[in-house]
Amino acid sequence: MKLSAFVLAVASAVVLPVVGAGQESGPGASVQVKIAVINIDRIAAESTAGKALFEKLSAENDKLATERARREQEIREMSSKLTSEVLSADAQTRLQREIERKRTDAQRWLEDAQQDFQERQQEEEAAFQAKLGPVVEAVAREQGIGLILRDTPGITFVLDARLDLTPAVVARLNESEAAAAAEPATEEPATAPSGEEAGEVAPPATTPPN
């Protein structure tokens, strides 16, 4: 799975102005910008969050493929019955109508299922982007980076591996996911049980004096 659909959104969100050491910002000031590159596909493939997203979408896609194959097989079996068995004219007509209905239903189901899957995929990728953006920006600020470019094979040529911010981003993203998973769930305080619920025994009734 490639998450390049929102690469530009992430990259443009991490363009940080950096002033050279010992220099002041202002008109005519010399500005030195430290540049780095990131590989979004590698981040998605190597990070814990990216792997989880890939597995989730793959599982949903496999379910769609299985259901589609089942429907197609059902139609093939019905079509085979139509041509291989001796049926009356009325039976052939009814079966042919049923086959057409199945085909129409299958096509409508497929269109709806694909649309739902694409919407869920966009939602999941947007959630991944929401996690990734702040991490990239934090790492970039820590390292004094003012401009991040996407590492694109055939377009971007990285001659110095030290410019690659991908490993640092993957490590930080994994740390964030681990920290979030380790946080205990907030539990509502338990209400104090009543006397009967707590198993308390009521004192014996006393006989009033004569």
| pLDDT tens-digit map of 48-87 | 999 999 999 999 999 999 999 999 999 999 999 888 778 8
How far apart CA 96 and CA 78 sit, in angstroms, is 9
Q: If you ran DSSP here, which 8-state letter would residue 15 be given?
A: B
What backbone phi and psi angles, to 5 degrees, belong to 152? -115, 115
Residue 190 has pLDDT above 80, yes or no: no
How far apart CA 6 and CA 168 sit, in angstroms, is 20
pTM: 0.65
Q: For 123-142, what is each residue's pLDDT tens digit?
A: 999 999 999 999 999 999 99
Residue 2 has pLDDT above 50, yes or no: no
Q: Which domains does the chain have, with CATH numbers?
A: 4-22+30-182 (3.30.910.20)
pLDDT at residue 3 in the model: 45
What backbone phi and psi angles, to 5 degrees, belong to 57? -70, -35
> Residues 50, 128: contact at Cβ < 8 Å?
yes
Residue 189 has pLDDT above 70, yes or no: no
Give residue 58's Cα distance to chain centre.
11
Q: What is the mean pLDDT of the chain?
A: 80
